[in-house]
């Protein structure tokens, strides 16, 4: 059986998630364009490496040529000074969508983030596509791209899956990740679901594994067919032994963005 | 243990689903009245065959005599010219409810259809009992019977389960059925749930198997206790090999009614 | 300024509401086709009288020729035996929509009824387009036409306003009408709103005047611009003097359909 | 790994659920204070027995000293005359919350009940934290404590999990329990989830096992991480053989409170 | 025209609101029983004065004899020590409902309070019947009575209107009252609406005048027909001149309960 | 009585709305800083003119010094090429919020736009704060600023009112404006409401006058106290005479963004 896509562009391919996707998306595409600011290691025969900065519109345009899907994981993965957020996440993502429009790309999967809604409370019973409530400039930039994705579907017919990734790491690293963890395999499953869903349109989906604590109702994305198969439970004992219980009265304990709500402004002296 | 029903009338008993129900409802009734326009094959000792047209009110009345439940799968199973829809689905179903009223039938299970809400979009996050949005005269007739069932519960105390059957076939036959498929066994489970639920009242339930892609939230029918056990996944590879990806910009790809939205009016020349 | 419509067909033109509309729609159309089973009195120069039964498809087709809107008030205005409901409300309304399709009619305004949702409770805080919960065969037929109107918009692009008329009489005639009353002038305003709304699509709107007691939230139809200007208050004293307080434990006091919920089946002996 | 709590006070420790919790909460606390009106049997070395009446504020205060959590299962477990409900459930629970405030208790888990919402209908698709609709004075007292728990979180920062226990018995004892059953093990899981949830705040959670019939959407409590592992299915055959089908027109069949809705006022002569 | 009630019992008749109701309910009842802990002044011929404490069940019973409605404004009107709240608001209101049951009273109107939901935020877009979120023991007692009223309707058929009174004073006395004010005349209108609504059942209604700032959607009580006619606007200049702008970061500025959220526990030393 | 603000910065002060606000906000501030890319005419004694580009962060910072509120109407008022949208709306608004943070500004009122949700349909019954569905790059930039405003409230305590202005012109200029019109006086009322609301926090409010056709439910902003006093009705005849009825099947007729949905990409050749 032929693969559903001829060529998929993966941005942020040298990063933590991009590395997993290079492996995980092989079943879906005949070849991959892997793009990052730095060169990836071990480039495979079915892969084509492109090194550039997302702020470079011409380079983004060139990378997307011939692709029928883009998995856009690139950009700053964390709170950063405004200029960085502006260049890599806002301008960079705009370039991605323009490239998609220019080259007839059918679908874009975008690494949005829990931090687009980080001030929402664990007990408010939110849906995965809850309206914006960002906890950082980083989170604001994610809201921007979600809005952009909405426009490019409604006006230009480019389908987008915006995945609000919670915590995608090799294993849960603290108590919060016992509920926010998205295993790498589930992350690949979720990206793959967006690429193969019968209808994607403009979809915002929460990205978590099948952890016991589920603060977010993911049923709004039932139509993409994501079925997580991992859970943080096997790591519970280890995590709980290593990390004390969070202060129940701290805001960071009560919201889904966690410690992001405690960070100051990134341009202030002494901030990260 | 005695069976919960003495005698169940199954209409459309010679059809695809009726045939399955003849087998599947045996545990729930001491005997079955099997009715259709044509005679069924292999009538069993616990079965009583009745051949008539649903438009024949007297025949319907006679068939329901002595029954304490009706599983009404009869009528046109597809878009048909208006006169057919009127006679078999509208008039025929009215006869069924009148027969239920005349003979003290406790519960009716009705084969409604996804086409009662076929214009709803895959990504709108609908409930199984979403308000009408039919995609055909066939679908309009299903809305009529759902309204009738509501009346007969509220006014006459006859409980009804209206099952919006998506695609009940031996196996998924195209890419749409990878999400809309209702296996025969799950169909029997769903009808049985309606018959044995602790309280049915007037319930509309979506009828799908436990497929990965779930465009409809079926939790509104949690009180009937339907737990699907089949999935379309084992058929995915075969189906995807045989059928190309649907055009993402086609309306039929985006709505739950599928190609029904592309059909013209059945009374127009050249239409089915 | 030219009028928005060239020719409007009014069915049920000899009835209570039709008579008001003959007067009230003059500003919206250059001429009117007025249709009923019996001839109207005082036919005006801008009016064309057509006498026929709605069950006569050819006559309906002929009446709609050249019309760009239909205001469909015809059919049985009350609970009737099934055959009457079927012929005048179900078959008759189907003929209306087929005529609209055949003759390129842009908009249909349909006299639906509170009895499409008559079993809903006064205190449940329903919207004007609440899902079906009919209280009579009459109400079921209204649900049928609403579903039909939905189909003809989605599939054939004919816009429909389905007005769930509560109680449109010269003045409130009992205590229930103190909240359910729709003055004739407000009825004309509501029909006119449907005809002139910037976008109608498929809209279900509740039809009441600006009475003090408002069991239905009419804001779902804000986009049609209906602003009632009458109220039942001036009639309160007279009505309360003439009618005792309803029994608070009677179902008919608690639901919006009123005494319709107490009526038996119309085909039973002794029923109306 | 150290246990999350130093000392937990369990009220109602001699009762059906308290007995299970003495066993089940061992992994969560270094020691238990077990309290009841009568002495428990087999007091263990890690347990401290306190015998008193909940109406005795000083005794409650003393029992909570040194505890960092309270699992409050005490009080009348059934409809009782007003004076009993007042003393044990209203005054008694107030004493519990005051003791929690006095002694810096972090979390309280409270045995609320389905009877706080017993008049809700099986088919209304309610959430676990549906607004009050009690079916008894007992149920009213549960609503009181839920409101009190809300206050003590918002104003005093004491987290509470109010579990609306449906039917927690060794096994399902009648047909209603086929859907309302909460196994003892699942009850322990649910209490434990409340004690260990990353954020509890003020949470109302429905307490049922993973039974097939699910009239309540428990997803509002996803953030506490309760995953039931038992089901009533293994008991179905036995229960159905022993109990006839409920009358479908009886209110007690249609609401989640069951036969409580049929009980008169407990202070009337002849009432329980 | 005869008045709708023969005899109405008004509790708290000597208080601020009770005094207004003695005047305002004259059109609705042939005679009034006015009850309070202290004697009212200027008892009129159509009035019968009864002096007793609500904690005295026998006295409450006697006062309700012969009444067909109770307007229950009595009890502590403010945060009070627990014992006072228990005696006057919890036990006292229970006596009222028992008296209603004993004497066949048709309707009870209860002075609930904004403080039943005082922790809700001004900007959360709440309905008038939002679930409990009390800000004081006083508020918890209001939640208790609302639950009791629900029970007495569902089980004993006594209709109740629970009015969540915001701030009913002669005129707005501070900046918060510019939105929370309920004029005395509107208070009388709201109580009268509850008494005369076509169907009351169990209704919770927010009590505010037609002020410009409307933090609560009162449409859930549209079925009782309350139409406020007063507004705080005429008092704005005076109030704003006398009171500085509230601190925007203070919780008491952000919630509907105002400064109640800042009060400590009433039983603590030094608290009111 | 002293005015609520000492000094308000108005950006876009030379524009259509800015000019009105220079007049309209006089009652709320002792002095105004009026800022634009070009100098305003007729600068008044209580006004201080500042000419700069919003992309100039230092100039924005300087302008906000000493202000306790900012009314931010500046930036591109229409669809523009990406670089313009980026500089004036995204970067420029970021500078505004940074200036607010640096100078302790209490409240910001931002001119968001209907084009943040322009693809929503007239008949979908949306709230004023419906989630993003932009119809242009201009609209996407509005979504960005709304998200930014949310962050600056949650994290830095700066209150924001984001007004989604529909069509604020001297008078309705086409048929769409008969429902989307916001009179200048109502615009001033709405900005003033945001500045004086008892609690603003982060609020998104729709900006329309009291027109007959109301596609948006503005009650989500009831807590700010906006009461429109103008209506498009007096202009109806004139507008309808000058403009033909819109094509009912055109998307631009069916959505609230109007013809913006028909515009191509602004960077494409030949686009505006």
The list of chain F residues with pLDDT below 50 reads none
Q: Which of C97, C119, C138, C152 is catalytic?
A: C138
Residue of A nearest to D5 (CA): A245
Which chain B positions have a beta carbon within 8 Å of A220's beta carbon? 125
Confidence of residue D37 (pLDDT cuts 50, 70, 90): very high
**Pairing mode of beta strands E107-113, E159-165:** parallel
What's the order of all strands across the beta sheet hosting C107-113? C47-51, C29-36, C5-11, C69-72, C107-113, C159-165, C202-207
User: Which chain B residue has its CA at the smallest distance from A200's CA?
Assistant: B123
- CB atoms E144 and D140 under 8 Å: yes
C180-231 pLDDT per residue, tens: 999 999 999 999 999 999 999 999 999 999 999 999 998 878 999 999 999 9
- DSSP letter string over chain A? ---SEEEEEEETTTSHHHHHHHHHTGGGEEEEEEEESSPPSS--TTEEEEE--TT-HHHHHHHHTT-SEEEE--S--S---HHHIIIIIIIHHHHHHHHHHHTT--EEEEEEEGGGSTTSBTTS-EETTPPP--SSHHHHHHHHHHHHHHHHHHHH--EEEEEEE-B-SSS--STTHHHHB--HHHHHHHHHHHHH-S--SEEEEEE--S-S---EEGGGGGGGT------SGGGHHHHHHHSPPPPTTSHHHHBTTGGGGG---TTSTT--
pLDDT of A2 reads: 84
CA A81 to chain centre: 20
Give the model's confidence band at A272: pLDDT under 50 very low, under 70 low, under 90 confident, else very high: low
Cross-chain residue pair F225–E240, CB shorter than 8 Å: no
Interface list for D 119-178 with E (CB within 8 A): 119, 129, 131-137, 139-140, 143-144, 146-148, 150-151, 154-156
Give me the pLDDT at residue B1, please. Answer: 59
Contacts of B139 in chain C (CB under 8 A): 147, 151
Nearest to D125 among B157, B200, B220 (CB): B220
Q: Which of E:199-238 have CB within 8 Å of D?
A: none
Chain F touching partners, 3 or more CB pairs below 8 A: A, C, E
Residue of D nearest to E129 (CA): D131
Chain C residue with the nearest C-alpha to that of F177: C198
Taking residues E95-124, report their average pLDDT.
Answer: 97
Q: What is the mean pLDDT of residues C166-171?
A: 97
ipTM score of the complex?
Answer: 0.97
Mean pLDDT of all residues in D84-89: 97
Q: Within the 62-121 window of chain C, which residues sit less than 8 Å (CB to CB) from chain F?
A: 106-107
- Among E2, E40, E6, E11, smallest CA distance to E191 is for E11
Tell me which of A97, A138, A152, A226 is the catalytic residue: A138
- Concatenated DSSP letters for chain B? ---SEEEEEEETTTSHHHHHHHHHTGGGEEEEEEEESSPPSS--TTEEEEE--TT-HHHHHHHHTT-SEEEE--S--S---HHHIIIIIIIHHHHHHHHHHHTT--EEEEEEEGGGGTTSBTTS-EETTPPP--SSHHHHHHHHHHHHHHHHHHHH--EEEEEEE-B-SSS--STTHHHHB--HHHHHHHHHHHHH-S--SEEEEEE--S-S---EEGGGGGGGT------SGGGHHHHHHHSPPPPTTSHHHHBTTGGGGG---TTSTT--
- Nearest-neighbour CA in chain F from A55: distance (Å): 13
pLDDT in tens, A43-94: 999 999 999 999 999 999 999 999 999 999 999 999 999 999 999 999 999 9
Output the pTM of the full model. Answer: 0.97
pLDDT one-digit tens code per residue, C74-106: 999 999 999 999 999 999 999 999 999 999 999
Q: If pLDDT is split at 50, 70 and 90, which confidence band does E219 have?
A: confident
For the cut 80, the answer to whether the pLDDT of residue E265 exceeds it is yes
CA-closest candidate to residue F200, choices F156, F164, F162: F162
What pLDDT sits at residue E66?
97
| Residue C272, pLDDT above cutoff 60 | no
Residue D138 annotated among the catalytic residues of the structure: yes
Q: How far, in Å, CA of F194 to CA of F5, rounded?
A: 13
Residue E1, pLDDT score: 59
Nearest-by-Cβ selection for F225 from E212, E240, E249: E212
Q: Do chains F and A touch (3 or more CB pairs under 8 A)?
A: yes
D chain contacts of residue B159, beta-carbon cutoff 8 Å: 248
Q: Cβ(D157)–Cβ(A249) under 8 Å?
A: yes
Q: Which residues contact E183 (CB under 8 A, 6 or more apart)?
A: E168, E209, E228, E230
Give CA–CA dist D7/D66, Å, rounded: 7
* C-alpha separations of B247 from A110, F261, F265 in Å: 22, 22, 23
Q: Do the Cβ atoms of F122 and C4 come within 8 Å? A: no
A122 and D223 within 8 Å at the Cβ level: the answer is yes
Mean pLDDT of successive 10-residue stretches along chain B, which has 272 residues: 92 97 97 97 96 97 98 95 97 98 97 98 95 98 98 98 98 97 98 97 97 92 95 97 94 97 91 58
Q: Answer whether B50 touches A (CB < 8 Å).
A: no
């Amino acid at each position: 059986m032929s693969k559903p896509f001829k060529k998929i562009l993966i941005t942020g391919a040298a990063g933590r998630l991009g590395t997993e996707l290079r492996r995980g998306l092989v079943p879906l595409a005949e070849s991959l364009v892997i793009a990052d600011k730095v060169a990836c290691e071990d480039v495979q025969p079915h892969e084509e490496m492109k090194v550039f900065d997302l702020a470079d519109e011409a380079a983004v345009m060139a990378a997307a040529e011939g692709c029928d899907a883009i998995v856009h994981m690139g950009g700053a993965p964390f709170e950063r000074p405004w200029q960085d957020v502006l260049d890599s996440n806002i301008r960079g993502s705009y370039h991605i969508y323009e490239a998609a429009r220019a080259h007839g790309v059918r679908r874009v999967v975008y690494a949005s983030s829990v931090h687009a809604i980080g001030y929402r409370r664990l007990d408010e019973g939110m849906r995965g596509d809850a309206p914006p409530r960002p906890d950082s400039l980083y989170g604001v930039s994610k809201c921007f791209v979600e809005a952009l994705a909405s426009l490019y579907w409604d006006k230009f017919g480019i389908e987008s899956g915006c995945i609000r990734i919670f915590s995608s790491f090799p294993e849960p690293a603290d108590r919060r990740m016992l509920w926010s963890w998205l295993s790498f395999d589930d992350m690949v499953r979720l990206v793959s679901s967006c690429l193969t869903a019968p209808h994607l349109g403009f979809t915002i989906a929460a990205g978590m594994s099948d952890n016991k604590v589920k603060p977010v109702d993911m049923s709004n994305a039932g139509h993409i067919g994501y079925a997580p198969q991992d859970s943080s439970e096997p790591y519970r004992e280890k995590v709980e032994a290593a990390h004390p219980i969070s202060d129940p009265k701290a805001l960071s304990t009560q919201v889904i963005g966690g410690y992001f709500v405690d960070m100051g402004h990134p341009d202030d002296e002494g901030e990260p």
